[in-house]
């Protein structure tokens, strides 16, 4: 919800002088108490302010500027996606683990002829280590999550939709893909980036930290 200029001014006054009476707010704005009645009623009903009997108005802070809400709603995957880390399908599990540490990521994408073939993350590596696999001999294809089970995103999708997808599938990261034809003329997915819970959290922090 957006507020008019006087309501925004009241919020600022209450924020810096709480608890403050209605009379005092009226005095500070040089208006009558009855002029403020509707504004104060809107601000308390929307839970921005709380009227505490015999104390005054306090700020309870549900106010979110409509520009911030709009900015969240219109953020697309391409606005916040990061660089993807990909390995070839012939890479050994051991080399992939080393790569994951060097790149400081939790999920990597596995490519076959440059096209997305699999996803591999920390749990997959831990499982293979627990199972006594020969990490230097086995390729990542043995333990990766493979097509068609890969959950993906496209660059023009809304961030919020992709965030919901991450939550529903209980995963940390999605490859951002484009549909292309491979050298045999077959359709495949080219990885152009990644979107992770970290990208999304960091975007929320940037938008909300100064409210």
Beta-sheet pairing, 107-112 with 86-88: parallel
77 near ligand ADP, judged by CB under 6 A: no
Smaller CB separation from ligand ADP, 56 or 175: 175
φ, ψ at 107 (rounded to 5°): -140, 140
- Cα–Cα distances (Å) from 84 to 15, 89, 167, 191, 198, in that order, read 43, 15, 20, 7, 13
151 near ligand ADP, judged by CB under 6 A: yes
Which residue of 44, 133, 141, 145 would you call a contact of ligand ADP, by CB under 6 A?
Answer: 145
Residues 6+ apart with CB under 8 A from 47: 60, 62
150 near ligand ADP, judged by CB under 6 A: yes
Judged by CB under 6 A, the number of residues near ligand ADP is: 16
**Cα angle vertex 201, ends 195, 205, to 5°?**
135
Q: Please report how close the Cβ of residue 172 comes to ligand ADP at its closest, in angstroms.
A: 4
174 near ligand ADP, judged by CB under 6 A: yes
Q: Interacting stretch for ligand ADP, rule CB under 6 A, among 58-66, 95-103, 113-121, 178-186?
A: 113-121
First and final CA of the chain: distance in angstroms? 15
Which residue of 123, 155, 158, 203 would you call a contact of ligand ADP, by CB under 6 A?
Answer: 123
Query: For ligand ADP, what does the binding mask look like between residues 27 and 66, x meaning CB under 6 A?
Result: ----------------------------------------
154 near ligand ADP, judged by CB under 6 A: no
124 near ligand ADP, judged by CB under 6 A: yes
117 near ligand ADP, judged by CB under 6 A: no
100 near ligand ADP, judged by CB under 6 A: no
To which H or E segment does residue 52 belong? strand 49-52
Which residue of 119, 162, 177, 200 would you call a contact of ligand ADP, by CB under 6 A?
Answer: 119
- Residue 148 CB neighbour total at 10 angstroms: 4
Contact 28, 13 (CB under 8 A): yes
Which residue of 122, 161, 164, 181 would you call a contact of ligand ADP, by CB under 6 A?
Answer: 122
173 near ligand ADP, judged by CB under 6 A: yes
How deeply is 99 buried, as exposed, middle or buried, from its count of CB atoms within 10 A (0-12, 13-18, 19+)? Answer: middle
At residue 189, the 3 state secondary structure works out as strand
Binding-site ranges for ligand ADP (CB under 6 A): 106-107, 119-124, 145, 149-151, 171-174
């Amino acid at each position: 919800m957006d507020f008019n200029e006087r309501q925004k001014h009241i919020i600022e006054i209450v924020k810096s002088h709480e608890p403050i009476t209605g009379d005092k707010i009226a005095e500070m704005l040089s208006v009558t108490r009855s002029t403020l009645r509707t504004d104060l009623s809107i601000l308390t009903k929307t839970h921005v302010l709380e009227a505490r009997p015999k104390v005054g108005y306090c700020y309870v802070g549900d106010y979110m500027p409509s520009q911030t809400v709009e900015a969240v709603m219109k953020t697309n995957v391409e606005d916040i996606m990061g660089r993807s880390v990909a390995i070839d399908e012939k890479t050994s599990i051991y080399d992939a683990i080393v790569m994951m540490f060097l790149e400081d990521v939790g999920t990597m994408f596995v490519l076959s002829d440059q096209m997305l073939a699999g996803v591999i993350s920390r749990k997959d590596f831990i499982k293979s280590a627990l199972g006594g696999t020969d990490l230097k001999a086995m390729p990542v294809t043995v333990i990766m999550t493979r097509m068609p089970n890969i959950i993906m995103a496209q660059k023009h999708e809304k961030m919020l939709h992709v965030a919901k997808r991450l939550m529903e599938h209980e995963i940390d990261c999605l490859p951002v893909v484009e549909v292309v034809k491979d050298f045999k003329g077959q359709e495949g997915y080219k990885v152009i980036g990644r979107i992770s819970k970290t990208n999304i959290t960091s975007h929320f922090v940037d938008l909300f930290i100064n409210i």
